[in-house]
Amino acid sequence: EVQLVESGGTLVQPGGSLRLSCAVSGFTVSSNYLSWVRQAPGKGLEWVTVIHSDGKTDYADSVKGRFTISRDNSKNTLYLHMNGLRAEDTAFYYCATSTVGATYGDFDYWGQGTLVTVSS
Amino acid sequence: DIQMTQSPSSLSASVGDRITITCRASQSISSLLNWYQQKPGKSPSLLIYAVSRLQSGVPSRFSGSGSGTDFTLTVSSLEPEDFATYYCQQSYSPPLTFGGGTRVEIK
Quote the minimal CA–CA distance from B57 to chain A in Å.
Answer: 11
Query: pLDDT of B19-29, one tens digit each?
Result: 999 999 999 99
> What pLDDT is attached to residue A112?
98
Question: Which of A37, A45, A47, A110 best probes binding to B when mutated, by most B CB atoms within 10 angstroms?
Answer: A45
> What pLDDT is attached to residue A68?
98
Contact at CB, A60 and B95, closer than 8 angstroms = yes
Contact at CB, A45 and B36, closer than 8 angstroms = yes
CB < 8 Å to A108, chain B:
46, 49, 55
Q: Could you tell me if A114 and A92 are in contact, meaning their C-beta atoms sit under 8 angstroms apart?
A: yes
Cα distance between residue B25 and residue B4, in whole Å: 5
Cα distance between residue B8 and residue B55, in whole Å: 24
HSE, side-chain direction, 13 A CA sphere, residue B3: 2
* % residues pLDDT > 90 (chain B): 98
Q: Could you tell me if B101 and A44 are in contact, meaning their C-beta atoms sit under 8 angstroms apart?
A: yes
In order, the DSSP letters of A66-88 are TEEEEEETTTTEEEEEE-S--GG
Beta-bridge partners for B74: B20, B63
Q: Is the per-residue pLDDT at A19 higher than 90?
A: yes
CB < 8 Å to B90, chain A:
105
Assign residue A8 a region (left: φ > 0; alpha: ψ between -120 and 50; beta: otherwise). left
Query: pLDDT of A26-48, one tens digit each?
Result: 999 999 999 999 999 999 999 99
Query: pLDDT of A62-120, one tens digit each?
Result: 999 999 999 999 999 999 999 999 999 999 999 999 998 778 899 999 999 999 999 99
Chain A residue closest to B52 (CA)?
A101
What is the bridge-based pairing of β-strands B53-54 and B10-13? Answer: unpaired
DSSP E strands in chain B: the ranges are: 4-7, 10-13, 19-25, 33-38, 45-49, 53-54, 62-67, 70-75, 85-90, 97-98, 102-106
